[in-house]
Amino acid sequence: MAPFSKVLVANRGEIAIRIFRALRELGIGSVGVYSEADRNALHVRKSDEAYLLGPGPAAESYLVGEKLLQVARRSGAEAIHPGYGFLAENAAFARSVEEAGLIWIGPPSAAIELMGSKTRARTAMQAAGVPIIPGTTEPVDSVEAVLALGEQVGYPLIVKAAAGGGGKGMKLVESPAEAERALDSARREGEKYFADGRVYVERYLEDPRHVEVQVLADAYGNVIHLGERDCTIQRRHQKLIEETPSPAVDDVLRARIGGIAVDAARAAAYRSAGTIEGLLAADGDYYFMEMNTRIQVEHTVTEEVTGVDLVREQILIAAGEPLSLRQEDVRLRGHAIECRINAEDVAKGFLPAPGRITAYREPGGPGIRVDSGVVAGSEITGLYDPMIAKLIVHGVDREHARRRMLRALEEFAIEGLATLIGFHRALLIEPCFIAGETCHGLVESEALAGRAAELAPKTGIVAQSHEVGTALRPRVRPVEVGGRRYDVTLLEPEPAWAELGRRRRERARGGPGAGGDAVVSPMQGTVLKVEVADGDAVEEGQVICLVEAMKMENEIRAHRAGTVAQLSIALGDAVAGGQVICLVLPE
């Protein structure tokens, strides 16, 4: 008998679809939700029934707890699964679900609250004998406190949002001169993403491995771990590639860090699926970093090597069932790798690249899994994170999985916007990755960006003769040539209305006349902070403003020394990609 008749999934995209599938296998009805921006999204079609929450911005739709509770009441859902992101780690929302007489498919609100405060979590873990990274266990409220810790433990330091997670609210401090900016930025991101501007400071470990442990805990005191995941390959403290087992972890170390994870979960009185995130130093020391009180994006690789459906386990635990396996039942078979396929432009420092997917074809074959929430025609909007899909492969060992991933990446076709496919292809053939090293300093390097551009999916270009100055638009067409099929791009004239629209957009962005004086926004987003005014003298590289796009905070800097003129933005303004922010006139 199904544990619930209906479950509301308070999320979108690929994770919503992933949860719908688990519900369907258990014979449970699925209730989806969507914003105006997601009206035509795939997850809406994949749910048994779906309800509109409100406008596109998450703060007016997916983050409004009362609207979600109204949908649950209206649909007759008995439980709510939050997925990850949005309200998944919001203790107040979890409590409101329970108070409404619904089942929360996740950990107790008290555990979310404890682990949601990184300073309280560090204190609790320290008391439980779990090793923590040297740093503060209380919130830091002044630049002087940051500088004092720097004098005590040395630089670099890292400032972290006390309620943070997912790479948000984390700022590196490599010298005393950077302390104030890092503190302000981490506070601002903490307030924006977690409604909590408190921060703490840790010693920044040089070139550690990011190794996390998956745990499961039920309501009967049973806690187990399902091995580790290596999430070392990151940009801006956000994960790009995850794999299990870790290339740096043997059976002895696995038992030790698994025991640490179980101790941490017990100390938090945890229940449900969760992840203990830690750093593995070069000398073999392992430090607790934080606990993610939800299902993780990268849960997929653990599922592939253990055969355990983690979402199914979450649902059954919430329904009062005991764990379906014991620690001695857990076996790791083979090796799994996940590549996050995001809409990002590697050549522009991984800037978000929202747009419409014009063509989409997923890879297939043995050992390949794609968790996605898009089809051809789907819009990747700047309102949410830039993930398009997760590509997961399973092989008999790491090298087999690496080669299988390369084959899958070569088959994966996504057109219409920039993606990370070329980046992943470039990194997976690097000697450091092949050897299972950290690839420290390579991920965000210009050298790798160049190789990524070379390996990005390409189509042939067939130029047609047109009058000089005619705007052209690409059209993909299949061609038979020597018995082989190629996709070629034909450049066709834009219709007159499209050319008119292009000229209007060009005028709105400052036009070509701005020339070398212009500082332009490389992405669509929202202005978070303006740090200059008309008439200010600036140095090359000085920050002009901060623009937030797809949950990332980006610094727009002066391209040369000079004087600021025609500043066209203010706090809270929406900017378009290519829009002129200001001019920097030479002295």
Residue type, 89: E
Over residues 157-165, mean pLDDT = 86
Residue with tokens 């929302």, as numbered in its chain: 93
C-alpha span between 51 and 519 (Å, rounded)? 42
Give pLDDT, residue 576.
79
pLDDT value of position 496: 45
Q: How far apart are CA 38 and CA 49, in angstroms?
A: 14
Distance CA 16, CA 316 (A): 18
Residue 51 Cα to chain centre, angstroms: 25
Backbone dihedral region of 540: left (phi > 0), alpha (psi from -120 to 50 degrees) or beta?
beta
pLDDT tens across 164-208, in order?
Answer: 766 778 899 999 999 999 999 999 888 877 888 999 999 998 899
> H helices of 243-375, where?
251-267, 299-306, 310-318
Q: Which residue type sits at 12?
A: R
Query: pLDDT by residue (tens digit) across 397-423?
Result: 999 999 999 999 999 999 999 999 999
Task: State the pLDDT at residue 490.
Answer: 58
Confidence class for position 110, pLDDT limits 50, 70, 90 = very high
pLDDT in tens, 478-496: 668 554 555 565 555 544 4
Tokens of 3: 């544990």
Q: Per-residue pLDDT tens for 227-250?
A: 999 999 999 888 999 999 999 999
Tell me phi and psi for residue 71, to 5 degrees: -65, -40
User: Are β-strands 6-9 and 29-35 bridged in parallel, bridged antiparallel, or unpaired?
Assistant: parallel
Distance of CA 428 to the CA centre of its chain: 20
Residue 339 has pLDDT above 60, yes or no: yes
Nearest-Å Rg of the Cα atoms of the chain is 25
Domains contained in the chain, CATH given: 6-105 (3.40.50.20), 134-203 (3.30.1490.20), 209-455 (3.30.470.20), 460-494 (no CATH), 509-585 (2.40.50.100)
Asked if 324 contacts 223 with a C-beta cutoff of 8 angstroms, the reply is no
> What is the bridge-based pairing of β-strands 552-557 and 543-549?
antiparallel
Residue with the two structure tokens 């990194």: 427
d(CA 245, CA 225): 13
- Helix (H) or strand (E) holding 185, with range, is helix 179-194
